[in-house]
Amino acid sequence: MHITAGLRISRAFILGAGLGTRLRPLTGILPKPLIPFFHEPLILHSMRRCYDCGIREFIINTHHLAAAWDKVFPEHSWNGCPVHFSHEPVLLDSGGGVKKIEPLASAEEPLLVVNGDMAATFDPPPSRDVGPPHFRRQEERGI
């Protein structure tokens, strides 16, 4: 797969399939990214920051307690943005999750990969271009 540099990133793949074993017993009833954090699911904090940086489409992998995701995103959208789910009947780990969504990814557009169980702050770059400098120099890179 090649990425044509200079493109803005508008899609994010959020890792949400983990078992969340360190947060048991909370993760016995919800996947870790759906655990409330400041009165809303933890994943919404990451999605909001992504949205602030120009992300307008989300793909989330699921495994543990997958039905819980439909309760949070019943319309498979958030803030006017589509939310796609990639269910993993057998847990694939991070690299396997990315490989599984390859048909949903585009060779022409970079994809931001974000952990679904973090609360972080990051500022969008002034140019709204996200990524390393070689993306902004219009170079082509393969991954």
Q: What is the full DSSP assignment across 7-21?
A: PPP-EEEEE-----G
pTM of the model: 0.74
pLDDT value of residue 133: 54
CB 110 within 8 A of CB 9: yes
pLDDT < 70 stretches in the chain: 1-7, 27, 93-94, 106-107, 120-143
AA identity, residue 112: L
What is the token pair recorded at 73? 């995103």
What's the pLDDT tens digit per position in 104-139? 776 677 788 887 777 766 555 554 455 555 445 444
pLDDT value of residue 13: 84
Q: Please choose, from the candidates 79, 112, 109, the residue with its C-alpha nearest in 3D space to the C-alpha of residue 98.
A: 112
pLDDT value of residue 83: 94
pLDDT value of residue 64: 84
pLDDT value of residue 35: 83
Rounded Cα distance between 87 and 66, Å, is 7
pLDDT value of residue 90: 76
Indicate the pairing of strand 11-15 with strand 57-62: parallel
pLDDT value of residue 137: 47
